[in-house]
Amino acid sequence: MDIRLDDRHAVVCGASQGIGRATACALAARGASCTLVARDEVALGEVLEGLDTSAGQSHGVLTADFDDQAALDGVIAGRLRELPRVGILINNAGGPPGGPIREADPEAFLVPFRRHLITSQKLLRALLPGMREGGYGRVINVISTSVKEPIPGLGVSNTIRGAMASWAKTMAGELGPDGITVNNVLPGFTATGRLRSLFESKAEKLGKTLEEIEAEARARIPLGRFAEPEETAAAIAFLASPAAAYITGINLPVDGGRLGCL
């Protein structure tokens, strides 16, 4: 099975921490050159130093704030277009704050919509000519199990993640004739800073301890534990590989069996 990524170049968004960081490491370990994208240049530098270069690959960083679309446009028009031909795009960005959808201000949907869907559209449009020219394209969106089962208390996030899933399915149909695949990875409860923040907020609201909230969450997972970011990254790396050439337009849960639907 061909899972090597030698001579491939990947753009990995949200690469400064969590699943994004683990994904960059997983792709580099399989031979890919990685361009790391996030807001925190210092954190990106720390990730960069730890990436595998044993296959002779060259890695780099791009500092970009997806909430500043004007600045992002400048990055895309400048340094992004100067990269070697990119064959792999990992769309990954932080989710919006929690809360019931009935209480969400209408404006609360606009920032994450731009951060996720509009940014993904801009990045893909910029990189698509290179994918076509190189005869290799993998677009992988890190979203959420909420596209299959909405998560209570994450009203805005559920809505935006659903939009991303529909965007990906539509794009998969359009880019299939070019041999370019578009897939979604749906992380379940993963041991990241965002999960801890959500649980802390829930614990405060319900008057419980963080440990109680975590125990309740683990009880809903057949495997009985949270995922490590590296486990989600392994699924992403497979979908980015030549071995996954006939897989497109799917939602792949990496959730320890938590979802109750097929």
| Per-residue pLDDT at 12 | 98
| Domains of the chain, earliest start first | 9-190+228-254 (3.40.50.720)
| Per-residue pLDDT at 50 | 97
Length of the chain: 262
> How large is the C-alpha radius of gyration of the chain?
18
pTM of the model: 0.96
Contact assessment for residue 123 and residue 64, using Cβ atoms and an 8 Å cutoff: no
Contact assessment for residue 110 and residue 61, using Cβ atoms and an 8 Å cutoff: no
Output the six-digit token pair for 257. 């069996």
| Per-residue pLDDT at 198 | 85
**Burial (Cβ within 10 Å: 0-12, 13-18, ≥19) of residue 255:** buried
| Per-residue pLDDT at 143 | 97
What pLDDT, in 10s, does the model give residues 159-217? Answer: 999 999 999 999 999 999 999 999 999 999 999 988 898 899 889 989 999 999 999 99
| Per-residue pLDDT at 262 | 85
Output the six-digit token pair for 256. 């320890």
Distances (CA, A) of 186 to 80, 106, 262: 27, 26, 13
Q: Tell me which residues of the chain have a pLDDT lower than 50.
A: none
Residue with tokens 């959730």: 255
H or E element at residue 253 = strand 251-254
Question: What is the amino acid identity at position 107?
Answer: E
Closest among 125, 139, 25, 147 to 92, alpha carbons compared: 139
The edge-to-edge listing of strands for the beta sheet with 9-13 is 60-63, 33-38, 9-13, 88-91, 137-142, 180-187, 251-254
| Per-residue pLDDT at 194 | 85
Q: What is the distance between the alpha carbons of residues 169 and 173, in angstroms, rounded to a whole number?
A: 7
